[in-house]
Structure 1
Amino acid sequence: MSIFNNRKIYIFLASFISILMVASYYYFDFVNAKKYEMQEENYKHQATDMHSRVAQMIFEKQKATIAIALVLSQDQRLIDEIKNRRVHRNYYKALVKKLKQDTEYKNIWINIIDKNLNSVYRSWTNKRGDSVKNVRTDLAEVIKTKKVLYTISSGKFAVAIKAMVPIMESNRVIGVLELISHFNSIEKGLKKSQIDSVVMLNKEHTQKLQHPFTETFLEGYYIANFDVPKDKLAYLQQEGIENYFSTGYKIENGYIIVSYPLTGFKGDTLGYYIMFKKLTDISTDNEEFFIFKWVAVGFIIILILAGMVNLVLFYLLARQKSYIKNIIDSSTNIVIINDKEKIIDVNKTFFKYFSKESSIEEFKDRHGCICELFVHEDGYITRYIDGELWIDYILHNPDKPNKVKIIYDNQSYYFSVGVALVSEEKGYYSAIFSDVTNEEMYKKELETLTITDSLTNIGNRRYYKIKIEETITLAKRYKFPIAVIMIDIDHFKRVNDKHGHGVGDSVLVEYTKLISTMIREADIFCRMGGEEFLIIVPYADLQKGAKLAEKIRKKVADHKVVLPITMSFGVTEYIQGEDSEHLLSRADEALYEAKANGRNQVVTR
């Protein structure tokens, strides 16, 4: 008989171990799949962020370079020199030196062209007087349209970021001022984010170089940045640089590698900006949340830079209002000019959001100030905040994440707002509204996901930690009692072993719904993990907490939907002055005693 019993034990153990191994395999396979999925999503998000960041940095540098060129193009000295074809080289050498000392433009070049596309002055060479008509179609386009143009271009010396502004006299084009900047400041900016850069020019344009600036080449491709890491060049040579000519990303050798195409005036690809970032430098703790924070910081920096550029543009507006208006209208952000009380002017993007009105006058008939549409909601700016008008508040707090929420035509929008003084004499201010609706909605969705149990849709352990601290703080202030009820499903492991995890999940969902119908709206119901739950009951002492627990215990025992189950309960009451960990520990001890005494009962402590 003993042999028979031993055999039954062996069969049971073997079956149990087999089931455990199979379940463990599928469990770890599921965990690894989720981990891989999250990792891939994080890499995809990181690649998009790196791609967007270099694009935005190039765009910001183009805008800032245009702003400088616009100011220089109004200099009467330059106009006279173009007309007389006599340029004082020392003046422009001193100007370049000044820019190098006081700005991030450490290697800017100045190119002056007359209306016939003949070179008048180049800051980087003594050559002048030659015609660029057959090689510089972009300069011809500036003269033809009388409009500014910014692009990426390559020539005899390097691939560079170029800003071209027509030089005007009496509404006639007499020449073009071109400012040429390089990728070094962008490379340094990305380096601060642990991103290494390789800027390369394709073979077709490399062959046209006569005086390569860096004198660095790789497999027939010109490398345009000075401080390129040698190990990255060696790796690209080993793997073949042409394998990285795509807009996607690669995970290799402990790095995420992302390529950004550098397109020219005609939309052709001149080369690629290849970026390397160590995988260990990518956050894995609440990855989406931290990425969002850095994007938000990036938006703030962009707003500050955009505000500085707009100050220059609005200064020029006094003399060339219609000309600058075209530049402002090209912005993808909403730009509003106002005098603190009412709107003066807006750009075209404004009507993309406020499309019910066909003109600014029609909008002002309904709303004198855009602030009338600001929604009163925590975390967002309203018309008056901290005793200040919203414009003054943003001016005095430029480093804060100043955001507004607007509901218009039953649609909610979120904007990051920057304000700058345009005209001190008239008291005009520019307000730039950058649409961050997707980011804000994503943030809210992410915050909800981090505190919600995915199976039962009630609060999770993280949500409990937040709410118990909030409730204890209120209890200390207003002197009300708190009851805490710890709940554990009896013999739940048997449910999973006998009926499978699918049935086990159904039990958890069904009885969570049942308990939710028995508690007040003010009570806080959380799943602490596995089959363990907890209820925070504000304004209830130990007796009321025990009464509620007993009521739930009986209801659960009688419910018998999916499977008949019972539950054990540990109830305790908050003692003034104790911390949340001690409170939870006492409730857990009471629950342990209920289980030790035979389960399906309520124990208080």
Structure 2
Amino acid sequence: MYSTFKPIYLFILGFGLLFTFIIVDYFLSNEINLLTQNKYIQTSNNLKEQISRAIKNKSNSTLNIAISLSENMGYKEFLKNKKDLKIDLKNVSSKIKENSNFKNVWIHLVDKDGISRYRSWSPKKDDDITPFRKEIPLLLKNPKISSVISVGIFDMTFKSIVPVFNGNEFLGLIEIITKTNSIAKDFEKRGLDLVILVDEKYKEQIKKPFTKDFLDNYYVANLNAKKELKEIIQTDIKEFINIKEYKILNNYFVTTYTLKDITNSDMGYFIIFKNITEISLTDILEFEYFIKLIGILLAFFIIAIFATIYFYNRSKYTVILEKDVKERTQELNDLTKRYHQIFQGSKAIKLILDPKTQDIVDVNNAAIEFYGYKREYFLKLKAKDLNNQEEKEFKLILKRILENKQNIFTIKHKLSNEKIKDVEIYASAIQISNKTYIYAIIRDITDSLKAKEELDKKQKLFYQQAKMASMGEMIENIAHQWRQPLSTITTAASGTKIKKEFGELDDEFFFDSIDLIVRAANYLSHTIDDFRDFFKQSKLKEKFNALTILNNALKLSNVNNKGIELIIDCAHIEITGFKNELIQVFLNILNNSKDALTNIKDPKKLIKIDVKEIGDNVIFSILDNGGGIDEEKIDKIFEPYFTTKHQSQGTGIGLYMSEQIIDKHFGGEISAQNVNFKIQDKDYFGVNIQIKIPRNLNS
């Protein structure tokens, strides 16, 4: 029998492993491409938002200069009495240039009759400008502040016009004109290169071009536009000005921000070039590592199953096989536990320190690279050697971490080369061999602080923390769901062994056992698919069924196996939006209900879910009989880091991120209320979480 079954087992085993690796490779290649594309789209949107803010800031700054100069008594006297100007406006322009980012500031004084009394950029004066400046007669008739971006004979400029009054007497107008060069120079300091083009329909209008630079019919508005980039753009100008999302070319990441005029027509194009190597893909690489680890675990599991079947048919190896199965099962459990402690391969800076002695007990490669110390020397340092905190203040920080009162800190760290870096530390207490250590993830935020983008990055980090905060419980839920199929596999294998030992193993029993093992293995595979789908990072809207995502959340939260009765009233409702983010919200709420129900004395534990469609909105109501929330705390449950659980259980992130997802990503509302309710003539009391979102996020 051994010689007959051996080739079959080897063939099936080889086919199973090959199929596993093909599936993992296919999933990885598609998922990595999708994640990379999403990363680039996010980068493009971020760069366009920076340009939009820079334009708005430049416009506001130009207006502020005009408002400030309009109050100057010298200008008022000049416009009122029409005497010689006692203030040298060219000197004013020069001082603004020396003491700000404004390198080209033009000042224009117009009296109440529309006569140009002074131009800082030209000796021409005392001419009537109302015939060719259509907005001037309107402003002279109805004096008010005007601020626009327009294209003139010199350049595309920011123009701010402010009326000048002496008391209630209208004297004239002061106009401040600035250019886009300071925006381009500011972005150049950030490592971003701009080529600013004015639309070709303005070519004839720009009679005295300031930069004297054109690409075909498109005027180049910034002096620091690099020649090599202009040559790249000139190969196909239309393609570059019409980039909707992004373009990868010659190691450059390219995107275009289109500036509209007051009629919403294209006026200018800010073509942004960023070195592709400066876009961090760390999170995607870590995701790839994680999926590969799952594939390895699955391969180990397949090998273990076939090894079990194979050795059961060789009675002389029965004892060895039983021991081997136990060892492999323990290895799988150990690999799962060790996964949470792996940090050496991470690109994030990580440290482990002893809170009592402040000794640094372990560091990862990213920390060695960041701080510049060799590992042997690094492990001889203490935490105080890295930070500039006072000893008393640092001990207080350690105490707050150990008490789980605060986990995030922003301080300054010193590198081996004496440079000081602003870092954000995420720290928590962990147990290793029954001893407490502090596990710290450190992020360099020096450049982020300088660029004033900390708020956006923290928001994204909050969402990642919420995902990772769920992972421990998800692993536990998967382990719980695996116990039954593992038990089925063990029972089937044991029965086969006993039948074999007594010589009673027939083909029908053998193949029935094999089928049972295969079905159990397929169930294990499906749980991995559910886990993988939940952690799939997708920012694309999709259509899904309300009941389907509720069932996914219930399965992931393992509520069904906690002795909790579920009452679900859900119509067939199709929703368009971010599926995984909505599952995350339901999972957070169900986990909170599950935790609350474990602490009540009532043997009947209930979760009631109602889903209704009202107009264009979908209303979700999730109700439990867990005893409700203290009325003094219920209004705070959606605040970050606020938790009603024991400090060792709650992070205070889940409901905060749920509120952020519903509000920011769905444009909906989430609320909590203690309620009394009745089911089958019995009274209950608990908390009702109600969510209202649009049925179609595109509408």
Query: Would the alpha carbon gap of residues 284 and 26 (structure 1) be closer, same or farther in structure 2, given more than 3 Å must change?
Result: same
Pick the aligned partner of 2:469 from 442, 451, 464: 451
Query: Would the alpha carbon gap of residues 286 and 111 (structure 1) be closer, same or farther in structure 2, given more than 3 Å must change?
Result: farther
How far has the Cα of 1:255 moved from its partner? 2.6
Deviations 1:18-59 (A, max 9, x none): 332232222122122222222222112111111111111111
Say whether 1:226 aligns with 2:244.
no
For the residues of structure 2 that align with 1:106 and 1:496, how far apart are their CA atoms? 76
Query: Would the alpha carbon gap of residues 14 and 138 (structure 1) be closer, same or farther in structure 2, given more than 3 Å must change?
Result: farther
Counterpart in 1 of 2:38? 41
Say whether 1:106 aligns with 2:103.
yes
Counterpart in 1 of 2:117? 120
For the residues of structure 2 that align with 1:80 and 1:512, how far apart are their CA atoms? 76
Say whether 1:191 aligns with 2:175.
no
For the residues of structure 2 that align with 1:104 and 1:255, how far apart are their CA atoms? 27
Deviations 1:522-560 (A, max 9, x none): xxxxxxxxxxxxxxxxxxxxxxxxxxxxxxxxxxxxxxx
For the residues of structure 2 that align with 1:150 and 1:283, how far apart are their CA atoms? 38
Question: Partner of 1:133: helix, strand, or coil?
Answer: coil
For the residues of structure 2 that align with 1:229 and 1:67, how far apart are their CA atoms? 31
How far has the Cα of 1:145 moved from its partner? 4.3
Say whether 1:148 aligns with 2:145.
yes
Counterpart in 2 of 1:262? 259
Counterpart in 1 of 2:168? 171
Confirm or deny: 8 A CA contact 1:496 1:503 kept in the other structure: no
Query: Would the alpha carbon gap of residues 189 and 437 (structure 1) be closer, same or farther in structure 2, given more than 3 Å must change?
Result: closer
How far has the Cα of 1:69 moved from its partner? 1.4
Say whether 1:57 aligns with 2:75.
no
For the residues of structure 2 that align with 1:100 and 1:61, how far apart are their CA atoms? 14
Query: Would the alpha carbon gap of residues 22 and 59 (structure 1) be closer, same or farther in structure 2, given more than 3 Å must change?
Result: same
| Structure 2 residue identity aligned to 1:161 | F
Say whether 1:95 aligns with 2:92.
yes
1:171-570 counterparts in 2 under 5 A? 171-286=168-283, 443-453=461-471, 456=474, 499-500=520-521, 502-506=523-527, 513=558
How far has the Cα of 1:157 moved from its partner? 0.9
| Structure 1 residue identity aligned to 2:470 | T
Deviations 1:115-163 (A, max 9, x none): 3333222111222233333443444454444332222111111111222
Structure 1: any 5+ residue segments left out of the alignment? Answer: 289-376, 381-398, 402-433, 461-488, 519-605
For the residues of structure 1 that align with 2:208 and 2:140, how far apart are their CA atoms? 27
For the residues of structure 2 that align with 1:455 and 1:23, how far apart are their CA atoms? 26
Counterpart in 2 of 1:598? none
Say whether 1:77 aligns with 2:98.
no
Counterpart in 2 of 1:372? none
Query: Would the alpha carbon gap of residues 173 and 513 (structure 1) be closer, same or farther in structure 2, given more than 3 Å must change?
Result: same
How far has the Cα of 1:452 moved from its partner? 2.8
How far has the Cα of 1:217 moved from its partner? 0.6
Question: Partner of 1:504: helix, strand, or coil?
Answer: helix
Say whether 1:136 aligns with 2:154.
no
Question: Partner of 2:235: helix, strand, or coil?
Answer: helix
Query: Would the alpha carbon gap of residues 21 and 100 (structure 1) be closer, same or farther in structure 2, given more than 3 Å must change?
Result: same
For the residues of structure 1 that align with 2:556 and 2:83, how far apart are their CA atoms? 89
Question: Partner of 1:452: helix, strand, or coil?
Answer: helix
Query: Would the alpha carbon gap of residues 516 and 11 (structure 1) be closer, same or farther in structure 2, given more than 3 Å must change?
Result: closer
Counterpart in 2 of 1:26? 23
| Structure 1 residue identity aligned to 2:57 | E
For the residues of structure 2 that align with 1:133 and 1:247, how far apart are their CA atoms? 40
| Structure 2 residue identity aligned to 1:38 | L
Confirm or deny: 8 A CA contact 1:152 1:159 kept in the other structure: yes
Query: Would the alpha carbon gap of residues 224 and 21 (structure 1) be closer, same or farther in structure 2, given more than 3 Å must change?
Result: same
| Structure 2 residue identity aligned to 1:32 | S
How far has the Cα of 1:189 moved from its partner? 1.7
For the residues of structure 2 that align with 1:496 and 1:193, how far apart are their CA atoms? 59
Query: Would the alpha carbon gap of residues 400 and 263 (structure 1) be closer, same or farther in structure 2, given more than 3 Å must change?
Result: farther
| Structure 2 residue identity aligned to 1:119 | S
Question: Partner of 2:50: helix, strand, or coil?
Answer: helix
Deviations 1:415-442 (A, max 9, x none): xxxxxxxxxxxxxxxxxxx9x9998765
Confirm or deny: 8 A CA contact 2:199 2:267 kept in the other structure: yes
Query: Would the alpha carbon gap of residues 134 and 12 (structure 1) be closer, same or farther in structure 2, given more than 3 Å must change?
Result: farther
| Structure 2 residue identity aligned to 1:146 | P
Confirm or deny: 8 A CA contact 1:247 1:261 kept in the other structure: no
For the residues of structure 1 that align with 2:136 and 2:189, how far apart are their CA atoms? 35
Structure 2: any 5+ residue segments left out of the alignment? Answer: 286-404, 409-421, 425-451, 479-485, 491-513, 532-554, 564-699
For the residues of structure 1 that align with 2:556 and 2:62, how far apart are their CA atoms? 65
Confirm or deny: 8 A CA contact 1:110 1:123 kept in the other structure: yes
Question: Partner of 1:451: helix, strand, or coil?
Answer: helix
How far has the Cα of 1:243 moved from its partner? 4.2
Confirm or deny: 8 A CA contact 2:32 2:284 kept in the other structure: no
Deviations 1:350-399 (A, max 9, x none): xxxxxxxxxxxxxxxxxxxxxxxxxxx9699xxxxxxxxxxxxxxxxxx9
Query: Would the alpha carbon gap of residues 400 and 98 (structure 1) be closer, same or farther in structure 2, given more than 3 Å must change?
Result: farther
Query: Would the alpha carbon gap of residues 272 and 137 (structure 1) be closer, same or farther in structure 2, given more than 3 Å must change?
Result: farther
For the residues of structure 1 that align with 2:116 and 2:471, how far apart are their CA atoms? 69
How far has the Cα of 1:73 moved from its partner? 0.4
Deviations 1:551-573 (A, max 9, x none): xxxxxxxxxxxxxxxxxxxxxxx
How far has the Cα of 1:231 moved from its partner? 1.5
Counterpart in 2 of 1:358? none
For the residues of structure 2 that align with 1:441 and 1:458, how far apart are their CA atoms? 27
Query: Would the alpha carbon gap of residues 101 and 441 (structure 1) be closer, same or farther in structure 2, given more than 3 Å must change?
Result: closer
For the residues of structure 2 that align with 1:442 and 1:140, how far apart are their CA atoms? 50
For the residues of structure 2 that align with 1:168 and 1:264, how far apart are their CA atoms? 30
Q: Aligned-residue CA RMSD in angstroms?
A: 4.2
Deviations 1:59-99 (A, max 9, x none): 11222222221111011210121234455386111111111
How many corresponding residue pairs?
A: 350
| Structure 1 residue identity aligned to 2:44 | A
| Structure 1 residue identity aligned to 2:85 | H
For the residues of structure 2 that align with 1:452 and 1:271, how far apart are their CA atoms? 46
Confirm or deny: 8 A CA contact 2:181 2:221 kept in the other structure: no
For the residues of structure 2 that align with 1:128 and 1:459, how far apart are their CA atoms? 81
For the residues of structure 2 that align with 1:57 and 1:38, how far apart are their CA atoms? 29
Confirm or deny: 8 A CA contact 1:202 1:270 kept in the other structure: yes
Query: Would the alpha carbon gap of residues 82 and 31 (structure 1) be closer, same or farther in structure 2, given more than 3 Å must change?
Result: same
